[in-house]
Amino acid sequence: MRRVVAAVLAVGALVLAGCSSSKPSSSSKGSELNDRTGTSAGGFDGLGLNPAQPRPSFTLTDTTGKPFAFAQRTAGHPTLLYFGYTQCPDVCPETMADIGLALKAIPAAIQKKTYVVFVSTDVKHDTGPVIAQWLTNFAPNSSATFVGLRGTQAQIDAAQTAAHITVAEDGGQTHSALVLLFGADDYARVAYTQSTTEQQQMTHDLPLVAG
């Protein structure tokens, strides 16, 4: 069963959401940022991160087969970072669609500065061409830079750990549903989980971190 797990700290309790199951990950690897999220802060509409998280450093392979050093290549740019997989039946495409719609609703000048980085947690099936084709569903008419990344299992696990999110299980199908938004100052102060208001939250918050 394909499922995505997200935990949101609210009123002292963890609320779980998933594709088709609310079973939480049993992995002891990684540190889910959700245990440090709370209500909006600093004028953001998304989930405030406390403390703010520095832009993580990891290098993976992009869809053209070239190395992509995340921290260096996206430094100083508003960046949406999301881990998922292309064969996800609902939450992953819905989240990416919300990102695409949010980008279209902000000024073109901010779009041009923004990176959207999708990291596949499905090491076995998500090849470069598969990821590249999948991303075209969400990038049309956007001036943002969409980047798809893949790697070995060890590399993907390390990237998730560097981003302080839960390391995916079940061949990448059980993974964190968080989207992290890093600002021009190279810190993430806000994150998002798939919801009916996710798009509006991103639209509101992107200009605030663009610098």
In percent, the amount of the chain with pLDDT more than 90 equals 76
pLDDT class of 134 with cuts at 50, 70, 90: very high
Q: Are 194 and 95 in contact (CB under 8 A)?
A: yes
Amino acid 194: pLDDT: 86
Mean pLDDT, rounded, for 117-126: 98
- Of 180, 201, 205, which is closest to residue 56 (Cα–Cα)? 180
Lowest-confidence segment of 25-34, 70-79, 174-183 by average pLDDT: 25-34
Question: What pLDDT does residue 136 have?
Answer: 96
- pLDDT-derived band at 18 (thresholds 50, 70, 90) equals very low
CA 172 to chain centre: 14
DSSP letter assigned to residue 181: E
Task: Give the chain's domains with CATH numbers.
Answer: 6-209 (3.40.30.10)
Q: Is the pLDDT of residue 60 over 70?
A: yes
Mean pLDDT of 56-68: 98
Q: What is the pLDDT of residue 195?
A: 87
- pTM value is 0.85
CB atoms within 10 A of CB 34: 26
Residue 21: pLDDT over 60 = no
Stated as kind and residue range, the H or E segment containing 101 is helix 91-104
Note the pLDDT of residue 6: 38
Look at residue 40 in the predicted model and tell me its pLDDT.
54
Q: How confident is the model at residue 32 (pLDDT cuts 50, 70, 90)?
A: low
